[in-house]
Structures are given as structure tokens and as C-alpha cells.
């Protein structure tokens, strides 16, 4: 069985990343089969519960208020509408609903109260609930945990050295502190990045080093390909090569063998064969549904046809237990030791 390590060096990760492609994919596929049911893929659906008007300056994001991207600003969705979308996603095969709000950070106000109610309501559908709401305090993370939140997404986006080129309205340490708060609340962590931002290969390797040397690996690592949006500073970036995506997925699989690796934004530009290569390289999660916040995504029907062809099966919700059950098991183990 592959050893789970938390002391990877940049040199070690670079050596893996630069291996001959077929050797790299073969090793990643072997690691995947040792540690996971390789035919099982976790399906998430992502919705924007509050769209546009964000004060951040993320260079890739169509929801930043300072860019003219044609995205209309919408207030927070009603809970009933969110539940309806969640039910439709569940009927389509999704086991997790991720709710995103275009906020810099969570504020303790009525909108956050509404998000708490949404988390509770979607939980009642027997779906895992994930949120991506910006920066969190420790108390806010605990409140989400108490409501039954399963996962919190907070991507690093790129390397620490490259970060200021992409975002100036918050720091890399701000991102890492939010991940710490999520961990303390015993919510599972979803954190990855974007390739195709104009970063170097060294930046990609550095980002993977940061993720793989956290005190605990993220339970989920999304690998996104930039979807350039007119009006943003990165509108003219060329499409990232699928082989770069495969290398990132395979390297992530090898250095974080127990982690769910999500093939995320950019799938609409990939052929079925290219997506199959990503699954072979160790991807075992996707976003399904026709939209990722504000950018296009393959439909549920298209993905189910691909699953059927490739022999993939959707992962059931709460396969590793519900958050409260996981906490109880950990507490029992501690008590037994004492």
C-alpha cells in the first residue's frame, strides 16, 4: 500500500511531474487502484447562491465587481429555490451540492443565517453539503459545522510566489488560515487550484507542495483549467493543454493517494477521450450540471453517458460517514486510548 506522506519536497514533486507521460499515468493509475475503488467517481453539483458584485480582484473571475464581464448581480437565492436545485442535482446523480457565494469573507448577518438554513435543508435530502463563501473565522466555521456542513471549498489557486499576480485583495496566509479554521471545526477540506493562469510549471509544483505538506491532506483537491472570460485580465490566456491537466491530476494522485481528485472547470473543452485519460490518471470526482457558478459545464445526461461508456459508477453520499458520525468515532478512539 502506498505510504501517505506529508514531507514532500519540490524536487521530489518535480521529478514525478516531469516523468514520461505514459509512465506517469501508469504509476498514478496503480496508486489509484491501491487506495480507491478506481471505477467510483464522486459527483458534485455547484450552484451560485449569490452572484456577482464581489469586491475581490481575482484576475480570472467574472464575478469581480471591478470587471465588466456581463455577469448580473443577484441577491442571495431563496432557500426553497436552492432545495429545488439540490433535488434536481440529486435526481441527476449528484451526491454533493456545493453552494458558492461571491463574497470576500463571511459576515455575521442575515445572509449567513440564510446559508445556515440552506445547509440544514439540503442535508435533509441526504446529500453532502459543501460551501465556498470566502474567508471564514473559527466561530463561523464552527457554526457551519453545527449546521451539518460536510465540506468547505477554499482554493489556493496558484503558488504563494505567483499569488500576488492573480489576487491582491487578500493574502496567501489568509487562505491558509481559513483552511485551519475549517479543520478545527472538523469540516472536510476541499482545496486545489487553477492551471492556465500564466503560471510556470514551478508554480504548479509549489502549489502541490503546499497542499501535500499541510498537517492533513485535503479530502478533495479540485484541478481546474482556466476558462477565460472576456472582461477579466486573463481573458486572452490560451487554453491549457489537456496533457498539462493529466500531469497535474497524476502528480496529485501520487503524492496525495487518499485524496479525491476532482476534474473541475474546463471539462467542456475536453473530448471524451481526453476526460478518460484524466480518469485513468487518477481523477475520481467531477462537477456535473450545465453550469459552474457562471461558466458552462457538461450536462448530467452527457456525463451519465460517459460513465456508462467508461464503466464508471457514481459514489454514494456519506460513504466515509456523516460529519457527526466521524466525530463520534474519533472521540471513541481517543477515549479507548485514555
Helix, strand or coil for residue 107?
A: coil
**Annotated catalytic residue: which of 5, 19, 33, 54?**
54
In what helix (H) or strand (E) does residue 165 lie, and over which residues does it extend? Answer: helix 163-166
Helix, strand or coil for residue 130?
A: strand
**Annotated catalytic residue: which of 96, 98, 143, 253?**
98
**Annotated catalytic residue: which of 143, 190, 247, 253?**
190
Q: Annotated catalytic, 278?
A: no
Q: Of 170, 96, 184, 83, give the one whose Cα is nearest residue 134.
A: 170
Q: Of 223, 247, 227, give the one whose Cα is nearest residue 27.
A: 247
**Annotated catalytic residue: which of 61, 96, 131, 253?**
61
The Cα–Cα gap between 124 and 113 comes to 17
Q: Annotated catalytic, 58?
A: yes
**Annotated catalytic residue: which of 96, 130, 204, 278?**
130
Q: At what angle do helices 138-146 and 172-184 cross, to 10 degrees?
A: 40
Q: Annotated catalytic, 96?
A: no
CA 80 to chain centre: 25
Q: Annotated catalytic, 131?
A: no
**Annotated catalytic residue: which of 96, 143, 247, 262?**
262
Burial class (CB in 10 A: 0-12, 13-18, 19+), 220: buried
**Residues assigned a catalytic role:** 54, 58, 61, 98, 130, 190, 262
Amino acid at each position: 500500500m502506498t505510504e501517505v506522506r506529508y514531507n514532500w519536497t519540490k524536487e521530489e514533486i518535480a521529478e514525478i511531474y516531469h516523468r514520461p507521460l505514459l509512465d506517469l499515468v501508469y504509476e498514478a493509475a496503480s496508486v489509484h487502484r491501491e487506495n480507491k475503488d478506481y471505477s467510483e467517481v464522486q459527483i458534485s453539483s455547484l450552484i451560485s447562491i449569490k452572484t456577482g458584485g464581489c469586491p475581490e480582484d481575482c484576475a480570472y473571475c467574472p464575478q469581480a465587481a471591478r470587471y465588466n464581464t456581463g455577469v448580473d448581480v443577484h441577491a442571495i437565492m431563496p432557500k426553497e429555490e436552492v432545495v429545488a436545485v439540490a433535488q434536481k442535482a440529486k435526481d441527476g446523480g449528484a451526491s454533493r451540492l456545493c453552494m458558492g457565494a461571491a463574497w470576500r469573507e463571511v459576515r455575521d448577518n442575515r445572509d449567513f443565517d440564510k446559508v445556515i438554513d440552506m445547509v440544514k435543508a439540503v442535508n435533509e435530502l441526504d446529500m453532502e453539503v459543501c460551501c465556498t463563501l470566502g474567508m471564514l473565522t473559527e466561530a463561523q466555521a464552527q457554526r457551519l459545522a453545527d449546521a451539518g456542513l460536510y465540506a468547505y471549498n477554499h482554493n489556493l489557486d496558484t503558488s504563494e510566489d505567483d499569488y500576488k499576480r492573480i489576487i491582491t485583495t487578500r493574502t496567501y496566509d489568509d487562505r491558509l488560515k481559513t483552511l485551519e479554521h475549517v479543520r478545527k471545526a472538523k469540516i472536510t477540506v476541499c482545496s486545489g487550484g487553477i492551471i492556465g493562469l500564466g503560471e510556470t510549471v514551478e508554480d504548479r509544483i509549489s502549489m502541490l507542495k503546499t497542499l501535500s505538506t499541510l498537517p492533513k491532506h485535503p479530502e478533495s483537491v479540485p484541478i481546474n483549467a482556466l476558462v477565460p472570460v472576456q472582461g477579466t485580465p486573463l481573458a486572452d490566456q490560451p487554453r491549457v493543454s489537456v496533457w498539462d491537466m493529466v500531469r497535474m491530476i497524476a502528480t496529485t494522485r501520487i503524492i496525495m493517494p487518499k485524496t479525491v481528485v476532482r476534474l473541475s472547470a474546463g471539462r467542456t473543452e475536453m473530448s471524451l477521450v481526453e476526460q478518460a485519460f484524466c480518469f485513468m490518471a487518477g481523477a475520481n470526482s467531477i462537477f456535473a450540471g450545465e453550469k459552474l457558478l457562471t461558466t458552462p459545464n457538461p450536462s448530467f445526461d452527457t456525463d451519465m453517458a460517459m460513465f456508462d461508456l467508461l464503466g464508471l459508477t457514481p459514489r454514494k453520499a456519506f460513504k466515509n460517514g456523516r460529519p457527526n458520525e466521524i466525530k463520534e468515532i474519533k472521540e471513541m478512539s481517543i477515549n479507548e486510548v485514555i
